[in-house]
Structure 1
């Protein structure tokens, strides 16, 4: 059994914010497979379903980002899954907006939601799928304000592209495995976007 957990904040004002990219991905997977999550108080929304011939638990912690680990711990007590079968989906300010990256394990970096998950799991050896949210226009001085403020126009469209790619990658993990999925999505689908972003950054630095 697989467990896909998307991180975010539950209040409506955060629905289109970069920090809710994980929530958006779970919602996209649910939309594709006509799945409705059920609430478990203020801890989490989840649903066990069958996707691509695999049993999958889809979940969104309702504990707010910084306490995401509480919901993950609750899921673990309910379903007794191996952490190697858990995929945590979340935003990453260090990746270009709309890109995605998949890793089998790693640290939390600066992400407090992932820090909470790792603390409650007692390990960082579990897969994660990161959706890039870095501001494509300018450097972001007030990061907290940027990640919590809803995006609009082309910026939101670009974020949505990343969400869709993440949902496709999650499904491919079910159909194939994480290694094959990493080879496709980490290398091919993001290469052009990353090249463009690096070119923009280089040009901007020359002009500063």
Structure 2
């Protein structure tokens, strides 16, 4: 059985903990809790934990570089564990998707996301799986940087746990049933905004 590296993109530091850019970290935190995986190891500027999600051997990885610089750190971790891009799954925010929407993508370009750009540059390929989580766009064009670094607004925070849970379900489906089944089940799906 092969090992899958699951990377959550985000920025280190308490000031970014609930920012839109850090949803990848949040999803990995939930996966860690669901599957009792300890994340106490550190190597190459990446905090990581090894464990199992169902019968699958996984490494959950939180790069401790800033978002735009994560690629080299993740690449070194992959080399260390002898894992290629086909066994890399990256969870990240996506402004092209409305808040609460999920999209799984098997490969592709960076789509303007600097964290994904850094990974593609370091790996020399865009052939890795992404779980893209919609955070929406700022109302004022040109405020992209402050928008992704700001905390989720009150409305979004009230449904954030639902989005994180759906993302974890999608990752578990990828591991258990494969990417095609996960794409069929989750792509385009939006959390229910019921109170």
Q: Do they superpose with TM above 0.5?
A: yes
Range with greater deviation from structure 2 (149-158 or 2-11) = 149-158
Structure 1 alignment gaps of length 5 or more = 194-208
Question: 1:146 & 1:121 partners in 2: Cα distance?
Answer: 28
Give the TM-score normalised by the residue count of structure 2.
Answer: 0.91
Which residue in the other structure is 2:131 paired with? Answer: 129
SS of 1:155's equivalent? helix
Distance of 1:117 and 1:157 partners within structure 2:
31
- 1:34-73 to 2 correspondence within 5 Å? 34-40=36-42, 43-73=45-75
Aligned to 2:160: 159
After superposition, give the CA deviation of every residue in 1:92-114 in whole Å (9 maximum; x if it has no partner).
01101111100100100111111
Normalising by the residue count of structure 1, what TM-score does the alignment of the two structures yield? 0.85
Alignment-derived partner of residue 190 in structure 1: 190
Q: Where do 4+ consecutive residues of structure 1 move more than 6 Å? A: none
Corresponding residue number in structure 2 for 1:84: 86
Deviations 1:52-109 (A, max 9, x none): 1010111010011011102211211211112111101100011011111001001001
Measured after TM superposition, the shift of residue 161 of structure 1 is 2.4
Check conservation: 1:100, 1:186, Cα contact below 8 A.
Answer: yes
1:144-170 CA-to-partner distances (Å, cap 9, x unmatched) read 111111124221233332222111100
Q: In the TM superposition, what whole-angstrom CA distance separates every residue of 1:156-189 from its partner, at most 9, and x where no partner exists?
A: 23333222211110011111101100000015x3
Give aligned pairs, total.
191
* RMSD over aligned Cα atoms: 1.9
Tell me the CA shift for residue 42 of structure 1.
6.9
Specify the alignment match of 1:144 in structure 2: 145
Residue equivalent to 2:100: 98
Unaligned runs of 5+ in 2: none
Question: Contact 1:46–1:58 (CA<8 Å) still a contact in 2?
Answer: yes
Q: Are residues 1:169 and 2:181 paired?
A: no
Q: Which has the larger radius of gyration?
A: 1
CA contact (8 A) 2:39 2:49 kept: yes
Distance of 1:161 and 1:44 partners within structure 2: 27
